[in-house]
Structure 1
Amino acid sequence: MVAYALSIMAAVGAVALTALVFRRVKTAGEDRDPNGPSAAHAGAMLSAMFLLVFAIAIIVPWTTADAARLNTHTESQATVDAYWAASGLPGSAPEEVRRSLRDYVAFVVREEWPVMAEGKMHPVGAERIDDLRGRVNALQTGDDEEEDAKATVLEHMSAISTARAQRTADAAASPPEGLLFLTILTGVLVIVFPFLAGARPRGLAILPLVATAALLGFGTYLSWDISRAFAGPLAVGPEAFQGALDEFTRIAGGM
């Protein structure tokens, strides 16, 4: 934060120094016109700065949401693969493992997803995966086929844990600190700049400025509303896990 303040002070100081130097140049004239080169240049730069900040505020959450959506498909597919592989486990382990996988996926859809909208994860979810992984690891196998099935299930469980860790990071992800403030600041400056430059619009001339202010306000609100991957207009839904539950039913019906 100190570095930001110092950079702003340095920029303001550079402008003040430049203005002082050029005031001593006799050929230089005053620029008081709202349509003059100073106002035109500053207005263009403010608009460009707002567009740059606003683009970052939109692109970062959009990219995060896309990555989070792909990751949910990776995690749900790993549960389906583990469900398939569990058929080769010894004794009653196939039914137990499959029931645990169904319970885990149902838990994610019904209980964990609403919590993720707040940027958090339900602690029970990780405990369920760790418990199932430990039970599979403790199974005693009788032949090579059962050992291979056990190793395959553990491999898919590892993939589930990895994807879950990424989902945890996606839920907590947010745009860079200060980006929303900078978006609001530059948007306000764009709106009030004509008045600061000396313009005094009246009547119908003020309508474009009002429309611009409304659009900037909506854009700023949108950048805040999509800041979380699992909340807002871009929210990633549990469709991938619901599809996994349907796939479990199909697999169980075909066995």
Structure 2
Amino acid sequence: MAQELIVSLIAATLALGALVIGDRLRPRSWRQADDESSGTLVLDLIKTFFTAVVAFVVVISWQQYQNARGHTIAESKALVDAYWAAEAMPEPEQVLIQSGIRDYTDEVMNAEWAVMNRESGLSGDTQRTFDNLRATVTAMAPSDTESRDRRDETAEALKRVALARQDRAIDAREGLPGFLYAALIFGTALLLLSPILSGVRISRRSVVMTGLLGIVVGSALLQVHNLDHPFSGGNLVSREAFELAVTRYQQIEVARYRLAN
């Protein structure tokens, strides 16, 4: 809430500053109000351009956010599949694989999530933990057919985890293209200068309307910023999918204990 208030105040101040400074710098002929149609046309064109750019940027940012969220869900589901497949393997393979899956999930939720937020990338230590887990599963050579089938299922599930993890690495680095930011900045500048370009005179009404315009523009830009970079922006993808995976691990262990007793 504090961030939204600060951005709104800054945007309103910039808009009012543009109105006052622009009023002093613009030619005297622009102060006349006998040609309101041309000023209205300029204002409508600017508003249409800004609205189109913001809408385009929000759609792209929201799609990136949804993709990132979907990839975390796919990764957590594959981890649960791997944990369940390992449940049918004999000890010590079962314990070795499931403890590795729990360790990896814990590192993703804690260490790696902080790295993605800070550096817009994945953790090298977490990657090594996952690579060691896959190598452990690959090196196993069960003697019976059922255990080999469970190992293959575990390996296939970990392959899906690797693919989803790669997608998450791309998501962590992905952001809006530079040309869209340039268009957004250009449209914002035009919109803040629109009262001057349309020939508005300084009055109480124009000051209030310009301040409100700045607040609206600032709020729109803040939301765009929050949606950009889904793991390091203002609107972060949550760790809920991995938290649910941990809950599922516990449920599987409880079911095993009940069967054993």
TM-score (norm 1): 0.82
CA RMSD between the two structures: 1.7
Query: Hey, what's the Cα distance between the residues in 1 that align with 2:107 and 2:39?
Result: 58
Equivalence for 1:156: 157
For residue 209 of structure 1, give the secondary structure of its aligned residue in structure 2.
helix
Give the 3 Å change call, closer, same or farther, for CA 35–169 of structure 1 in structure 2. Answer: farther
The residue aligned with 1:64 is: 64
Matched, 1:247 2:259: no
Partners of 1:108 and 1:223 in 2: how far apart?
27
- Give % identity: 26
Whole-angstrom CA distance in 1 between matches of 2:204 and 2:157? 68
2:69·2:237 contact (CA, 8 Å) conserved in 1? Answer: yes
In the TM superposition, what is the alpha-carbon distance from 1:58 to its structure 2 partner?
Answer: 1.6
Structure 1 residue 90: Cα displacement: 4.2
> Secondary structure of 2:211's match?
helix
Could you list the runs of 5+ residues in structure 1 that have no partner in the other structure? 1-31
Please tell me the residue identity of whatever aligns with 1:139: M
Secondary structure in structure 2 of the residue aligned to 1:178: helix
Alignment match, 2:172 = 171
8 Å CA contact 2:79–2:245 kept in 1: the answer is yes
Q: Which amino acid aligns with 1:44?
A: D
Structure 1 130/200 Cα, relative in aligned 2: closer, same or farther at 3 Å?
A: same
Deviates more, 1:78-87 or 1:211-220: 211-220
State how far apart, in whole Å, the 2-side matches of 1:78 and 1:221 are.
Answer: 35
Offset at residue 148 of structure 1 (A): 0.6
Kindly report structure 1 stretches of 4+ aligned residues shifted beyond 4 Å.
Answer: 32-35
Corresponding residue number in structure 1 for 2:217: 216
Q: Tell me the equivalent position of 1:78.
A: 78
Gaps of 5+ in 2: 1-31, 257-261
Q: CA deviation at 1:180?
A: 2.5
**Higher Cα Rg, which structure:** 1
Residue pair 1:86, 1:150 contacting (<8 A) in 2 also: yes
Does the aligned pair in 2 maintain the 1:57–1:179 contact within 8 Å? yes
Which amino acid is 2:56 matched to?
I
Greater RCO, CA 8 A, separation 6+: 2
What corresponds to 2:186 in structure 1? 185
Conserved 8 A contact 1:72-1:163: yes
Structure 1 residues 34 and 140: CA distance shift in structure 2, 3 A = farther
Displacement of 1:40 in angstroms is 2.5
Amino acid at match of 1:230: F
Is 2:50–2:187's contact at 8 Å kept on the other side of the alignment?
yes
Please name the residue that 2:20 is paired with.
Answer: none
The residue matched to 1:86 in structure 2 has which SS?
helix
More helix as a share of residues? 2
Displacement of 1:199 in angstroms is 2.5
Give 1:195 deviation, angstroms.
1.1
- Normalised by the length of structure 2, the TM-score is 0.80
Match of residue 47 from structure 2 = 47
Q: 1:46-75 CA distances to partner (integer Å, 9 max, x unpaired)?
A: 111100111122222211111211211111
Kindly indicate whether residue 208 of structure 2 is the aligned counterpart of residue 204 of structure 1.
no
Question: 1:120 and 2:125 equivalent?
Answer: no
8 Å Cα contact 1:184/1:220 also seen in 2: no
